[in-house]
Structure 1
Amino acid sequence: MEYPELTLLIGGRAVPAGQRPGLEVIDPATREVLGRVPVASPDDIDEALEAAHRAFPGWRDTAPLERAAILRRAATLMRERTARLAWLITRELGKPLTESEKEVATAAEMFEWGAEEARRTYGRLIPGRVGGIRQMAIPEPIGPVAAFSGWNAPAITPSRKIAGALAAGCSIVIKPSEETPAIALEIGRALTDAGLPAGVLNMVFGDPGDISRRLIESPLIRMVTFTGSTSIGRELAVMAANGLKRATLELGGHAPVLVYGDADPVNAADTVLAAKLRNSGQICTSPTRMYVHESVYEPFVERLAERARSWRVGNGLDAGVQMGPLANPRRLAAMETMVADALKHGAELAAGGQRLDLPGWFWAPTVLRDAGPDCLASNTEPFGPLALVQPFRDPDEALALANRLPFGLAAYVFTRDAATARIASERIESGVVCINHCQASLPETPFGGVKDSGLGKEGGVEGLQEFMQVKYVSQM
């Protein structure tokens, strides 16, 4: 397969680079330059805004069943093109091809879910206080949306935002990551080929700061949706608030894992490690802070380290590889800093802890035991294949450890006791709590954090409602 020419998508047209400056897209497994993504000019961004503004009334007034049919056709095209889309994800991000294929399937499901929910944007009739009056609460699409997605889930995250906006009847201008642009453009192509009207979806790339300011400050934009770091999310939230625009923010996490004394430590370790090393740990819901009851601590750590040492790391295009490289040299430097700091603070290396002698940005799956609360990795999201394990004695201590940070995106609990599971699910401060598994997000379930991990929801019925506003109509 060949890597495509990268473009912008504005008003239904693929806009070639022309004389625009470009940013290199690099294969993290080989450090090969795959291509250059064009940097949108201020005029390009304004054109995308105008296209979304012009397209909104027609898309808003398109029957939900017709919108649903287009989304469903796009999902079908994505499934038919799985081989190419998955190949692009692996080339741009590095993760194993099997993981990329699953991501394409999930992204297609986002559009299928949106297609179904587009048919169910019901309002309600409110009984009047006197006879002869009719009172209605009617949901309406909020308007053109500015969206920003990161590099770590390059098909799922844009699809979740695009599917929600389009299903609700909104037009959208999205800035996907410049590090993983081709897969986003292929999703846009699937929608175009499915019959999406010109201007309903627009994609621009370039300087994140410049693009975010120009989009969010535009009076044509009525909503902002962002996936990324907490620090950037705060900045965008302030910009949105200045324009009194709704913002949904899916921000950083630092997911705790509670393994109680009645849990099977081997099964828990196997389940957690598979989730930990998915996408090389570069997932905001990745289980990282593992608090294990002292009665099962040793068998849990031993199993976790054993499996980590045996995990096959390599180029994601190679058969049998279980984990690919880190996405960029920034993550590699972060792993080196965090491991060195943890060891300095008394943690013990149980597995990994070093770069691998491979062409790209590879880091060994790493397990640090007895990692206390003072080390950098215990307080800052590692966003890499790094697991921190610490024992606890009683349930109250475990819950206090789980809630000690200002983040609250996902948390995981392993126990065989129903009461323990209920108490943990009620007291853990997190937008998502998984009991005895690590599947934190599905197209049909609401996804989003609390505290410093975000505002609002994506996915599920709740995610669609974020793109709508309610109008009250009273008629005599």
Structure 2
Amino acid sequence: MAYINGEWLETTDQENVYNPATGEVIGSVSIVGANETKEAIQAASESFKTWRKLPGATRGAYMAKAVEIMRSRADELANTITKENGKPLADAKGEVTSGINYLEWYAEEAKRVYGDVVPASHEDKHLMVLRQPVGVAAAITPWNFPFSMITRKIAPALAAGCTVVLKPAPATPLSAINVFECFHEAGVPAGVVNLVIGDAEAIGKEMTSSTDVSKLTFTGSTAVGKMLMRDSAATMKRMSMELGGHAPFIIFEDADLEAAANGVLMSKFRNAGQTCISTNRVYVQQSVASEFGDLLARKVSELTVGDGTKEGVDVGPLINDGAVQKVNEHVQDACSKGGKVLSGGNIIESDGNFFEPTVIQGATDTMRIATEETFGPVAPIFSFETTEEVIERANNSRYGLAGYCFTNDLSRAYEVMNELEYGIVGINDPTPITVQAPFGGIKESGTGKEGGKYGLDDYLIEKFVSIKTN
């Protein structure tokens, strides 16, 4: 399936879309490859010539119209997410709200792409810095947030004056189609937004090799991100990469343990643990580790697992059987190295891809789960003694996306905040993400930021102009 230059393109090649909760086919889409991607890039390149010159308020008005349409279709959009992704419907509705909020925010930010007047060192010169759109932006989005990841990338690009060619994840193409239907209905000019669904390798190679693509933004695994960066080196593209994570969640003995346990529930088990900022390592101070483990295990055992379309479901399926097997391997490895399962720990036999929400006490740094991103509903509890120790262990990761800390000691909170090597830190806050703030990591968790005024920067270039008057 492709949406190129304002028109939908159907092909004879079809791929089915499956519901991970039931294994049922919920639809099919036509797929495209290199040739269609070239056409999309060319359309975006041509439309960039006019889109970039429109006043920010005019670009914002198109985006605001798309926001209006998305809000009117919010229930439909959420249902599509749940059917192809599996997350509970309440979470899907939250994702739709978040995704729309990003588009609405940048519809306003389109008016605020400011430059600078620089004080001159000579009386006969005037110095300025112009901020202009970088050009055509290629975007590749993941399956775990199939709606909001698209709007979070497209919104700042359009606001800055860029045009877009987007490739969504193969597991969740229907949400992408829904988004582009809304842009089409909003009357966004032909070629400004383009969609290509199909062969990942063929589409990716066209995006990375094309000299007409000036910017590439990607959310996904670190391994794929590195490959895209290598492939883009020849054309010196600007890159934004939101990659893997391995978030530590630190709980000190002075923390409100009830609040901390609820925080782990929200961070770890949302979307069945399939989020890049999901808690991967729960560090609990030794004096309260046993008490906290029992508390968390009790809460986790009360979670309802099932088809996200059903009432009262807290945790949906994993995206596919491969994800289930990976989670199971991590749990088995932890158990073989001394970990004790306090709750869950098993694959749920069904037609879907379900794994029991799991708590493991006595986790150690020798376990795979201590270094590999599980991307599933497993909370391993590590114990620690001192602040210095836990900061060192928390930072001992090649990832640096998000970290969390629960404490009622203000001095300790400031110390942890400053010392954690992560792009996002939540202090007594398991859900720190918001549209007006920057989202992004350091180390091998990526480069660039999404969200707030900071999200515009990667779609803009700075042009210095010096005018001599005499």
TM > 0.5? yes
Shift of 1:37: 2.4
CA apart distance, 1:136: 0.4
Q: Does 1:97 align with 2:89?
A: yes
- Residue identity in the other structure for 1:246: R
Look up the match of 2:63.
71
Give 1:255's aligned residue.
247
Say whether residues 1:444 and 2:436 are aligned partners: yes
Q: Is the 8 A contact 2:2 2:8 kept in 1?
A: yes
For residues 35 and 199 of structure 1, the distance between their equivalents in structure 2, rounded to whole angstroms, comes to: 26
Pairwise CA distance, 1:375: 1.1
Structure-2 separation of matches of 1:260 and 1:416: 8
1:140-151 matched pairs, under 5 angstroms: 140-151=132-143
Q: Secondary structure at the match of 2:435?
A: coil
1:269 equivalent to 2:261? Answer: yes
Of residues 4, 7, 10 in structure 2, which corresponds to 1:10? 4
Instruction: For residues 310-347 of structure 1, give each alpha carbon's deviation from its aligned partner in whole angstroms, at most 9, with x where no partner exists.
Output: 10111111111111111111111111111111111111
Asked if 1 retains the 8 angstrom alpha-carbon contact of 2:33 and 2:203, the reply is: no
1:316 alignment partner AA: G
* 1:188 aligned residue: 180
Instruction: Kindly report structure 1 stretches of 4+ aligned residues shifted beyond 3 Å.
Output: none
Report the CA distance between 1:214 and its aligned residue: 1.0
- Residue 12 of structure 1 aligns to which amino acid in structure 2? G
After TM superposition, give the deviation of residue 407 of structure 1 in Å. 0.5
Contact 2:137–2:214, Cα closer than 8 Å, also in 1: yes
- Give the aligned residue type for 2:47: A
My pick for the range that moved more, 226-235 or 434-443, is 434-443
How far is 1:22 from its partner? 2.2
Report the equivalent of 2:422.
430
TM-score, structure 1 as length reference: 0.97
Q: Distance in 1 between matches of 2:357 and 2:52?
A: 48
Aligned to 1:455: 447
In the TM superposition, what whole-angstrom CA distance separates every residue of 1:41-71 from its partner, at most 9, and x where no partner exists? 3221111111111110111011100111111
Return the letter of the residue paired with 2:235. Answer: G
Q: Kindly state the Cα deviation for residue 39 of structure 1 after the two structures are TM-superposed.
A: 2.0
Q: Letter of the 2:10 partner, please give it.
A: P
CA–CA separation in structure 2 for the residues paired with 1:9 and 1:422: 48
Q: Which residue of 2 aligns with 1:4?
A: none
Q: Which amino acid in structure 2 is aligned with residue 76 of structure 1?
A: E
| Alpha-carbon distance in structure 2 between the residues aligned to 1:134 and 1:459 | 33
Paired position in structure 1 for 2:111:
119
Q: Secondary structure at the match of 1:134?
A: strand
Q: Name the CA distance, whole Å, in 1 between partners of 2:237 and 2:437.
A: 25
Residues of 2 paired with 1:50 and 1:468: CA distance? 20
Displacement of 1:471: 0.5
SS in 2 for 1:308: helix
2:131 counterpart SS class: strand
Q: Alpha-carbon deviation of 1:35? A: 2.1
Amino acid in the other structure paired with 2:288: V
2:354 matches 1:362: yes
2:54 equivalent to 1:42: no
2:378 matched residue in structure 1: 386
Q: CA deviation at 1:388?
A: 0.8
Q: Quick one: which amino acid aligns to residue 27 of structure 1?
A: N
Q: Which of 287, 297, 301 does residue 295 from structure 1 map onto? A: 287
**1:56 lines up with 2:48 in the alignment:** yes
The offset of 1:371, in angstroms, is 0.9
Map residues 386-405 of structure 1 onto 2, 5 A cutoff.
Answer: 386-405=378-397
| 1:324 partnered with 2:316 | yes
Amino acid at match of 1:14: W
Counterpart for residue 302 of structure 2:
310
Q: SS at the partner of 1:437?
A: coil
Paired residues for 1:234-249 under 5 Å:
234-249=226-241
What is aligned with 1:170?
162
The number of equivalent residue pairs is 468
For 2:386, the aligned partner's letter is D
Q: Which amino acid aligns with 1:39?
A: I
Q: Which amino acid in the other structure matches residue 285 of structure 1? A: I
The equivalent residue for 1:286 is 278
Alignment check: 8 A CA contact 1:175 1:205 kept: yes
SS at match of 1:210: helix
Structure 2 counterparts to residues 348-359 of structure 1, below 5 A: 348-359=340-351
Q: Which residue of 2 aligns with 1:3?
A: none
1:341 counterpart = 2:336? no
Separation (CA, whole Å) in 2 of partners of 1:41 and 1:349:
46
> More deviation in 120-129 or 39-48?
39-48
Instruction: Give distance in 1, aligned partners of 2:201 and 2:288.
Output: 47
Q: Deviations over 1:263-315 (max 9, x none)?
A: 01121011111221110100000012000011221221111111111101111
What amino acid sits opposite 2:436 in the alignment?
Answer: E
**Structure 1 contact 75–111 (Cα < 8 Å) conserved:** yes
User: Residue in 2 aligned with 1:413?
Assistant: 405
- Superposed CA offset, 1:437-460 (max 9, x none): 111321111011100100111111
Could you list the per-position Cα deviations for residues 411-450 of structure 1 after superposition, in whole angstroms to 9, with x for gaps in the alignment?
0000111111111011000000000011132111101110
1:472 aligns with 2:464: yes
Answer whether contact 1:410 1:440 (CA < 8 A) is retained.
no
Distance 2:17 2:55 in 1: 39
Q: Distance in 1 between matches of 2:460 and 2:180?
A: 22
Tell me the distance in 2 between the aligned counterparts of 1:64 and 1:196.
14
| Letter of the 1:149 counterpart | T
Whole-angstrom distance in 2 between the partners of 1:209 and 1:441: 31
Q: Structure 2: where are the runs of 5+ without partners?
A: none
Over aligned residue pairs, what C-alpha RMSD do you find? 1.0
Shift of 1:171: 0.4
Instruction: Give the alignment's TM-score, normalised by structure 2.
Output: 0.98
